[in-house]
Amino acid sequence: MIMYDTIIIGAGIAGMTAAIYAARKVMKFEILSTDTGGQFLVSGEVLNYPGIVRTTGFDFRKTMLEQLEYNKVKVKNETVRDVRKKGDTFTVITDKSSYDTKTVIVAVGSKARKLGVPGEEKFANKGVAYCSVCDGPVFSGMDVAIVGGGNSALEAADFMKDIASKIYLIVRGGEFRGHEYLIERVKKNPKVEIIFNADTKEIKGDAMVSSLKYEKDGKEVELKVRGVIIEIGRVPNTELFRNVVEMDQTGHIKIDCHGRTTTPGIFAAGDCVSGSEYQYVISAGQGTMALLKVAKYLAEKD
């Protein structure tokens, strides 16, 4: 049985970056993932990655795949079922095989929390977005609706203030759940119309989003908007690791500044870790950090 230096779980930008660095260090490793691309598969335009003026999730993924191929890295399309500790090593079990490894890098990412209303899936990347920083500039000069009442929704409204023409902030409850300074900033913005106690019911359109329907006080209201930004939180894909590493109250994996989890030998990076800002550049940096610290960990053990 092969003993790997590390097994990388997840093939989004964090996992891919870790794999590129592992290849450059000529480490014995595999990168395992159910799909290849992570957030690339659901992103529209990408305008904020240093060194790349403008791209899309599709094209960014293509570039990363070319870089993996250049470094002779091949993602194994396998779904991880379990990670078991064996002394000071680990066994990673998938739906197809198992791997003994000295270390593990968890880079399984997260997914946007969905509203679950009609039209949401149909208009994904056609006016429906889940990240204002990533996709907000697409709605320049347009009327948009932002759904949510927490910090992420407030930050989205603040971010969109110089981009959108009009911003409807649709809050399901009767008050915000966020930082006071953000609340005050949003309330003072003349572009923002705050609608409390509004339950989003449907997103409508033809080829692209044209309106959002919500219910308030028993009455349905339809807003004419070109974009709907859903900011009701994210869900990390970490269920598998609940008994393996320590997590915060939201299910994100706790790491230190070196990417180390609370279990020696297991590192984590990207959108699945605590304190994540859900940005490609941060995830890539964390993937790099995790791999470099894995190399240091192995060197110290040897």
What does the pLDDT read at residue 213? 98
Domain match, 71 and 57 both: yes
Q: Are both 192 and 144 inside the same structural domain?
A: yes
254, two tokens = 């706790």
Same domain, 148 and 190: yes
> Between the CA of residue 143 and those of 60, 103, 245, what are the distances in Å?
28, 49, 43
> Where is the domain boundary, 175, 208, 230?
230
**Predicted model pTM:** 0.76
Q: What is the pLDDT of residue 217?
A: 94
Angle between helices 180-187 and 151-159 (to 10 degrees): 40
Catalytic-residue membership of 248: no
Q: Are residues 120 and 212 in the same domain?
A: yes
Q: Do 278 and 4 form a contact (C-beta atoms < 8 A)? A: no
* Sign, Cα dihedral of 75, 76, 81, 85: negative
Q: Is residue 245 domain-shared with residue 106, that is, in the same domain?
A: yes
CB 251 within 8 Å of CB 259:
no
User: Are residue 100 and residue 246 in the same domain, yes or no?
Assistant: yes
Q: Tell how strand 128-129 and strand 227-230 pair up.
A: parallel
Query: Strand 266-268 vs strand 104-106: parallel, antiparallel, or unpaired?
Result: parallel
Q: Does one domain contain both 198 and 255?
A: no
Asked if 131 is an active-site residue, the reply is: yes
> Of 135, 143, 271, 272, which is the active-site residue?
135
The per-residue pLDDT for 249 is 94
pLDDT of res. 44: 67
State the pairing for strand pair 227-230/143-147: parallel
Catalytic residue, chosen from 131, 143, 271, 272, is: 131
Q: Identity (one letter) of the amino acid at 136?
A: G
The question of whether 272 is a catalytic residue gets the answer no
The catalytic residue among 100, 134, 206, 257 is 134
The DSSP secondary structure of 111-159, one letter per residue, reads: EEPP---TTTTTTBTTTEES-HHHHGGGGTTSEEEEE--BHHHHHHHHH
Mark which of 198, 230, 262 sits at the end of a domain: 230
pLDDT at position 46, please?
Answer: 82
Whether 48 and 126 share a structural domain: no
**Residues 163 and 210 reside in one and the same domain:** yes
Whole-angstrom CA distances from 89 to 4, 18, 126, 199 are: 10, 19, 46, 49
The continuous run of DSSP H or E covering 92 comes out as strand 89-94
CATH number assigned to the domain comprising residue 198:
3.50.50.60
Residue 45: per-residue pLDDT: 72
What is the pLDDT tens value at each position of the chain, 302 positions in all? 899 999 999 999 999 999 999 999 999 999 999 999 998 887 767 888 999 999 988 899 999 999 999 999 999 999 999 999 999 999 999 999 999 999 999 999 998 889 999 999 999 989 999 888 778 899 999 999 999 998 889 989 999 999 999 999 999 999 998 889 899 999 999 999 999 999 999 999 999 999 999 999 999 999 999 999 999 988 999 999 999 999 999 999 999 999 999 999 999 999 999 998 889 999 999 999 999 999 999 999 88
Which among 230, 264, 291 is the end of a domain?
Answer: 230
Give the pLDDT confidence score for residue 274 in this predicted structure. Answer: 96
Query: 99: burial class by Cβ within 10 Å (0-12, 13-18, 19+)?
Result: buried
Q: What pLDDT is recorded for position 131?
A: 84
Q: How many CA atoms lie within 13 A of 67 on its CB side?
A: 18
The structural domain count of the chain equals 2
Domain shared by 216 and 67, yes or no: no
Parent domain of 296: 3-111+234-301
Please tell me whether residues 72 and 156 are part of one structural domain: no
- Asked if 249 and 104 sit in the same domain, the reply is yes
